[in-house]
Chains A and B, each alone.
Chain A
Amino acid sequence: MSSFSAPSTGRRRNLYAPPPCPHLADYRSNAHGLAKPFRSLQPCLRVRPLGRPEIRREPQEIPRCSPCSAADGGGCGMGPRLYACLACAAVCCPAHAPSHAEECRPGHEIAVDVDRAELFCCACGDQVYDREFDKAVVLAQIAAAAANASASCSLPESLRKRRRVDYRPWTPDPREWATMRRESSPLLLPDASDPYSAGAANTSTSSPSSPPWGLRGLNNLGNTCFMNSVLQALLHTPPLRNYFLSDRHNRFVCQQKRRRKKDGSGGSMGGDRRNPSGGLPVCLACDLDAIYSGVFSGDRTPYSPAKFLYRWWQYASKLASYEQQDAHEFFISMLDGIHENVEQDQHKPQSQGNGDCCIAHRVFSGVLRSDVTCTICGFTSTTYDPCLDISLDLDSNQNYTNVPTTKSHACNGENDLILSSQICGVSTLMGCLERFTRPERLDSDQKFFCQHCKVRQESLKQMSIRKLPLVTGFHIKRFAHSSIKKMSRKVDRYLQFPFSLDMAPYLSSSILRSRFGNRIFAFDGDDSDAAIDLASEFELFAVITHSGTIEAGHYVTYLRLSNQWYKCDDAWITHVSENIVRDSQAYMLFYVQKTLYYEASEDVSAS
């Protein structure tokens, strides 16, 4: 780790230290004959629970500026900042610090802000950063927390990293080639202008003039737009699409297996949820496979997902606790349905975090981390939970974005002033995510039992994302249900969402680092692989919008294929501009990881 790229390329971001100023470099190399720089500071690092690390020679010391006796800055009007010289421990306020450095140089330029534990170069007049120093500070903070016996639960086994392997492209051997030629025939790509034509065989990728593969309308079977919209998004979810188009779940093979199993268990099993009329157990993955075949067949007339609806109702009749089905509920129900079938078949472990159980979890399952911290002693309790998507609250109040307005002043005046005034007051996806990962003070009626204090204390809760799924789905909570008024209302507020999204600031590693003051330190749980920085970049590929009211509303999906946007409104597929998508009222958003990585398989047979 001797050289580091500039921050903008994002390499090894968690350990990046800017190049030191000459004075800091001098201090480090000389270190006044000490074995380690900053060693004199270490015993002076004081950490209070939930507080910042401070520099105090004695625990109750009140530092004062030697020349002017200002304590926390009163007399000189320079504000409450005090710097302790690293060389001689002389304490100065900002007014006197430069003269101290000047008089005593060389060697007395570097000082430390006693209240913030930040290094300051009095000669350069700027805050400076050093990895060794930060490490000392973080270790002091961790030691202080450990004194409270904070027992964060260890990472579940399912999350332990498997080593990464290089992608090996598959090429068929001669026998496989022969099989492919014998058992398959090329799909006929119909003429774009005449969907009913037989068309010519097209072995290359579709030409720019003809619509992309897999684009096909879905007939509305009677208020089933909630199902159609989710199906369109799933049909074009890249890892899911690749899985089914690679025949990884062949419905004919699966049906045979189910039949054999049923016969083997001695005839009709009577009625149960998966087997309502004593027939074959329902397999939603098979029914989804059938839809993939239909939609990617090249036929452009709208497809009726009737059989899928039938199967899903057979599966979901147990979900009668929901009065109304909405698109998000259908999405979750469908993924659960795919999961349940696989689970029953292969007795895979329930653990969904690493997605080994089924394709639905492999694609959509992530892991959320929840930290609850006692405000009195700082004891933190950590839990991990799998999630299929992230539900975000949409503030009905003004939600200001965190775009700093300082930047706009630097650019061409008027345009940016107008821009920033328009920006304020707009809800954004990143704003929602920031709120989602913000430390939240729990209500006093939700006091958390602190294992250290042994009583219920007020606490802070903070969520973060421990593991990102391949495809991150966001659900915007637009339907507010009031149990008091016994009615629901829809929040129509516009939500801005980006086409490219970097999830890094919401990861557990980032949240944890910010909790420790963004120090340069390799925290526990940080993936050491440099490439992980790229793994947090996502691209939008599907937007499900809802228009209208709760009682009478309509779902529509916008799909991004080859960077073109298509509106899928039941049976009607139209090409739309980017602007229309940006302007739409998002209800569900689907982002896919830009770069995929492969982990060594744990399954010995799959090589």
Chain B
Amino acid sequence: MSASNDGNSSPRSQLASRCFEDLLDSIIVDVASECHRIARLGLDRNLEEEEEELRLSVQARVADPSSSTEANSKNVVDIFGLTHPAIADEIFECMNCGRPIVAGRFAPHLEKCMGKGRKARKVTRSSTIARTRHSRGSPVSVYAPYSNATNSNRAPNGTTGGSGEEYADYPYGVP
């Protein structure tokens, strides 16, 4: 600090400057002493590894700045040599009602089938009263993502279907 070089050289301001310098020096020595101890006692033994990890991350980001790999991964062939449709087309029986359901539509179906979703409650009010007596579900829907994101009348990929239940519209295939 070159406080003594500034214009004001009154004894008071000199004292104040020296006071400040002393405080600053004290703090610097504190840090130096603590770091010296940490280094000498080997408490920072992983510094090399940490720096290496940081360097690798920086390298990785430079090598692959865009996340374009995320976007088109659905069109690729996977490591088993398989391709898959956007909506899973495996068909199995719903374990609640016994109907055959397309895998990719199972969750929204199950939501209504089990009487969980808010929409389900509104649509089939009388039939779920008996069921909700047993279940402890509260009126707030846990499954909001499904009812918000996928309108029960429309498939996620934008095609429209009938207003009835989904399995009636998509029996054995993806539109």
Q: Which residues of A approach B to under 8 Å, CB–CB?
A: 6-8, 10, 13, 16-18, 72-74, 79-81, 113, 115-116, 118, 127, 129, 192-195, 211, 215, 217, 219-224, 270-273, 276-278, 300-302, 304, 306-307, 309-310, 313-314, 316-325, 401, 403-404, 407, 419, 422-423, 426, 428, 430, 494, 496-500, 502, 504, 510, 517-518, 520, 547, 551-552, 556, 566-567, 569-576, 578-585
Contacts and interface: CB of A to CB of B under 8 A. Distances in A.
Nearest to A423: B54
A6 B53 CA distance: 23
A222 B146 contact: yes
Contacts of A574: 73, 76, 78-79
Contacts of B90: 219, 302, 304
Given A325-B142, A518-B34, A304 B88 contact: yes
Interface stretch (B5-13, B129-137, B167-175): B129-137
A582 B57 contact: yes
B104 interface: yes
B106 A18 contact: no
Contacts of A496: 53-54, 57
Contacts of A321: 138, 140
A278 B134 contact: yes
A502 B133 contact: no
A570 B138 CA distance: 30
Contact of A222 (B25, B107, B114): B107
Nearest to B89: A219
A324 B42 contact: no
A604 B76 CA distance: 54
A259 B109 CA distance: 29
B25 A79 contact: yes
Interface string B99-121: 00001111111100010100000
Contacts of B114: 310, 313-314
B67 interface: yes
A493 to B, nearest CB: 13
B148 A18 contact: no
Contacts of B53: 496, 498-500
B58 A319 contact: no
A271 B134 contact: yes
A571 B110 contact: no
Contact of B41 (A7, A224, A499): A7
A221 B103 contact: yes
Contacts of B47: 404, 407
Contacts of B63: 579, 583
B59 interface: yes
Contact of B64 (A129, A401, A579): A579
Given A195-B82, A579-B59, 5 more contacts: A271-B136, A302-B90, A306-B106, A502-B46, A571-B84
Interface string B34-72: 101110111101110111011111111101110101100
Nearest to B91: A304
B42 A16 contact: yes
Contacts of B149: 223, 551-552
Contacts of A314: 114
A16 B40 CA distance: 10
A187 to B, nearest CB: 16
A317 B142 contact: yes
Contact of A500 (B49, B60, B109, B146): B49
A90 B138 CA distance: 77
Contacts of A113: 33
Nearest 4 pairs between A and B by C-beta? A7-B42, A271-B134, A222-B107, A582-B60
7 contacts: A118-B33, A271-B134, A300-B82, A302-B90, A496-B53, A572-B76, A574-B79
Contacts of A500: 49, 53
B22 interface: yes
A6 B138 CA distance: 61
B55 to A, nearest CB: 6
B94 to A, nearest CB: 8
Contacts of B128: none
B107 A80 contact: no
A272 to B, nearest CB: 8
B74 interface: yes
Contact of A583 (B60, B80, B82): B60
A520 B41 contact: yes
A8 B145 contact: no
Given A307-B95, A309-B106, A582-B61, A72 B45 contact: no
A43 B32 CA distance: 27
A81 B55 CA distance: 38
Contacts of B133: 271
B81 interface: yes
Contacts of B64: 579-580, 583
A428 B55 CA distance: 12
A118 B54 CA distance: 34
B57 A573 contact: no
A304 B79 contact: no
B151 interface: no
B153 interface: no
